[in-house]
Amino acid sequence: MHKRILEKNLKDAAVVMATSETISQAIKKVITYDVKIIPFGIDLTVFKKLEVKSVIESGAIVIGTIKSMEEVYGIDVLIKAFARLKNDKKIPSIKLLIVGSGTQTEAYKTLVTNLKIADDVVFTGKIGYENVVNYHNMIDIFVNVSRNESFGVSVIEAAACEKPVIVSNVGGLPFVVQDKITGFVVGIENIEEIANAIEQLIKNEEMRISMGQAGRAFVASAFELNKNTDELLRIYNQTLEVKS
């Protein structure tokens, strides 16, 4: 019933907008006319590079993610990639910061213990949205290797804070990263590829800085809140004019 209601609403709409190409393609299975893509925008006056007091000891390079602790977001894959790097004696001091809560939290803590990396992983639990930007700024390399994701808001938040990002090649995530410019796009559940991408960034501070700066510029050009809101209003007004 819900599917039929949704299909009717899409077919009856004067205009349909989607936040990513992935969602647009799904909608086009139901309707035949164009879908306008207006991605989520973020406030660049809020999400920016800041000096913050970290929950991680100074001196370590921090790999991190800010996601719900659910299987779909692949945090177990990130943990396994991190563990592989910790076993490499040539890798400098690194820590893993996992921000968020969810049904898999205890399972992930058990995984960390079993992999013998508990001393190098920090779970923060749930945080308020007003603190998200602070945690982004505690991270040096942001990783989102979801098994499925329609867009990737946390990725553009991290990029706006001038962090290089690593994402899986799924759903809308490649849409928010310029591969090898603002970060890396890696295979789904490919632990070796994820670990290699992280390792490149660990060992190359200049790359981390340049990708971070390119990431903020990319967000400003494509995902800035005011620009996207203005485009949304333009389409609304244009549609109202045609209807009247």
Phi and psi torsions of 170, nearest 5°: -145, 145
* Average of per-residue pLDDT across 109-123: 96
Is residue 195 within 8 A of residue 151, CB to CB? The reply is no
- Give the C-alpha separation, 161 to 104, whole Å: 27
Higher-pLDDT residue of 31, 123: 123
Q: How distant, in Å, are the alpha carbons of 59, 61, 149 from that of 92?
A: 10, 8, 31
Architecture of domain 61-222 in CATH? 3-Layer(aba) Sandwich (3.40)
pLDDT of residue 55 exceeding 70: yes
**Strand partners for 99:** 66, 125
* Average of per-residue pLDDT across 137-158: 95
Show me where the domains of the chain are located: 2-41+225-243, 61-222
pLDDT, one tens digit per residue, over 191-224 is 999 999 999 999 999 999 999 999 999 999 999 9
Phi and psi torsions of 122, nearest 5°: -115, 125
pLDDT, one tens digit per residue, over 58-70 is 789 999 999 999 9
Please state the pTM of the whole predicted model. 0.91
| N-term to C-term CA, the chain | 32
Q: What is the DSSP letter of 60?
A: S
